[in-house]
Amino acid sequence: MTTDDSGSLADRTPPPDAGELAVYEVFAQTSERGTVEWQASLLAGSPAMALMLARENFLRRREIFDLWVVPRDAIARAKGADDFFRLPKTYREVSDYQYLVGKWRQYHQQAMTPDTMA
């Protein structure tokens, strides 16, 4: 684990309800170029405490590059807000353009006939 600060920034930023337990979502990045991936949720009294508990509970036996904790309340989510993801937009799918394969083949063949070549 390369983090050695236990969240110097987190220390300066008390949560809205200081001293109250809150749910934090835990994210980890395994390498400098790796994506930051969600690991788990936990209860903690402050961001610094959440970082410490995340290390001890979920990342004790793993090498990681960076660790994030985010109060769940700070996450804006789309679920239930609209049906954007369920709109039928087949024109955004690759499969919607399969017919082009046939068309291209057809035009290539036409292009190769002696008539068109003359």
Query: If DSSP codes are grouped into helix, strand and coil, which group holds residue 59?
Result: coil
Nearest of 67, 45, 71, 47 to residue 58 by alpha carbon: 67
CA distance 84 to 63: 38
Among 16, 19, 80, 102, binds another protein (CB under 8 A): 19
CA distance 21 to 45: 4
Query: If DSSP codes are grouped into helix, strand and coil, which group holds residue 4?
Result: coil
Q: Which is nearer to another protein, 73 or 96 (CB)?
A: 73
Among the candidate windows 12-20, 71-79, 91-99, 100-108, which touches another protein by CB under 8 A?
A: 12-20
Q: How far is the CB of 4 from another protein (least distance, A)?
A: 8
Among 46, 59, 64, 68, binds another protein (CB under 8 A): 46
CA distance 49 to 19: 11
Among the candidate windows 38-46, 62-70, 78-86, 88-96, which touches another protein by CB under 8 A?
A: 38-46
Nearest of 20, 61, 14 to residue 39 by alpha carbon: 61
Among 44, 59, 67, 69, binds another protein (CB under 8 A): 44
Residue 45 binds another protein, judged by CB under 8 A: yes
Contact footprint for another protein (CB under 8 A): 4, 6, 14, 18-19, 21, 42-46, 48-49, 52-53, 55-57, 60
